[in-house]
């Protein structure tokens, strides 16, 4: 076991006891950092309230819900600007897929707002954009020449993957890579230097994880799966995943620097 980073977790969606358990157990499972993403305004405020040294903050508005009121969007935007020196990214943002919210145009406009903000503040953007949504996200990233993009739990066509590969966009895989063939083939086709690992907790997984609390310790299994698929020694995969995430999110930079 070597150090790991959970590159995408919804800490505020756990109940308090679960969250405290996870934080207590970080050293036990060599979890170096957690990238805590936000869902909406109150989630952003909740995320910012976690002052643990291993918690890195990202602020945004998740697309799988009704569009925000103008006031809420303005408040999130202001929060992002005011915390620009301490947050590590803008996210989670993107386009809806699992829920039907009608007009995709309005969601694309919202995503474009966050992409422009990410460019202005020079922050990476964390995307929830799969299948056809991924292509719309790619169009917007290209339009604004933003390359620091992390597509979390990506699912999509090989064509889209090729397009993303050329731009150097990052993809992260969840513990479902242990049993989901679709994700295994993405790991096979995508360059390892563009891969990261995550849990998307508290989202619950199936197979051997059925009924279990989603915990960053599960990432050790994902690393073993990646090593197997890529035919690489597991220690090497630990190093690459760790370095990829540290580097992409500039987690080594001084906390109060002008990042």
CB of 131 to Zn ion, least distance (A): 16
CB of 1 to Zn ion, least distance (A): 25
* Contact of 44 with 57, CB cutoff 8 Å: no
Q: Does 6 bind Zn ion (CB under 5 A)?
A: no
Q: Does 200 bind Zn ion (CB under 5 A)?
A: yes
**Residue 140: count of CB within 10 angstroms of its CB:** 22
CB of 228 to Zn ion, least distance (A): 25
Total of residues contacting Zn ion (CB under 5 A): 2
- 114 phi and psi, to 5 degrees? -70, -35
Q: Does 148 bind Zn ion (CB under 5 A)?
A: no
Partnered with residue 197 across adjacent β-strands are 173
Nearer of residues 199 and 238 to Zn ion, judged by Cβ: 199
Q: Does 12 bind Zn ion (CB under 5 A)?
A: no
Nearer of residues 134 and 229 to Zn ion, judged by Cβ: 134
User: CA of 1: how far to CAs of 45, 194, 201, 244, in Å?
Assistant: 34, 22, 21, 18
Nearer of residues 123 and 128 to Zn ion, judged by Cβ: 128
CB of 257 to Zn ion, least distance (A): 27
Q: Does 176 bind Zn ion (CB under 5 A)?
A: no
Q: Does 198 bind Zn ion (CB under 5 A)?
A: no
Q: Pick the stretch among 46-54, 92-100, 181-189, 208-216 that binds Zn ion (CB under 5 A).
A: 92-100
CB of 103 to Zn ion, least distance (A): 22
Q: Which residues bind Zn ion (CB under 5 A)?
A: 92, 200
């Amino acid at each position: 076991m070597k150090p790991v980073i959970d590159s995408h977790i919804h800490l505020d969606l756990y109940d308090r006891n679960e969250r405290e358990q996870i934080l207590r157990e970080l050293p036990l499972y060599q979890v170096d950092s957690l990238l805590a993403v936000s869902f909406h305004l109150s989630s952003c405020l909740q995320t910012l309230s976690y002052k643990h040294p291993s918690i890195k903050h990202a602020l945004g508005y998740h697309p799988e819900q009704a569009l925000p009121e103008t006031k809420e969007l303005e408040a999130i935007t202001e929060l992002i600007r005011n915390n620009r020196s301490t947050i590590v990214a803008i996210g989670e943002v993107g386009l809806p897929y699992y829920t039907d919210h009608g007009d995709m145009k309005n969601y694309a406009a919202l995503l474009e707002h966050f992409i422009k903000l990410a460019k202005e503040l020079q922050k990476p953007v964390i995307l929830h954009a799969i299948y056809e949504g991924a292509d719309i996200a790619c169009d917007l990233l290209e339009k604004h020449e933003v390359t620091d993009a992390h597509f979390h739990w990506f699912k999509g066509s090989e064509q889209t993957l090729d397009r993303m590969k050329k731009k150097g966009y990052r993809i992260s895989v969840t513990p479902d890579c242990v049993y989901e063939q679709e994700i295994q083939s993405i790991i096979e086709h995508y360059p390892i230097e563009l891969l990261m690992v995550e849990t998307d907790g508290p989202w619950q997984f199936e197979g051997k994880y059925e009924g279990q609390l989603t915990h960053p310790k599960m990432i050790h299994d994902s690393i073993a799966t990646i090593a197997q698929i890529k035919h690489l020694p597991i220690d090497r995969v630990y190093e690459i995943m760790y370095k990829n995430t540290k580097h992409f999110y500039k987690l080594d930079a001084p906390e109060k620097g002008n990042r």
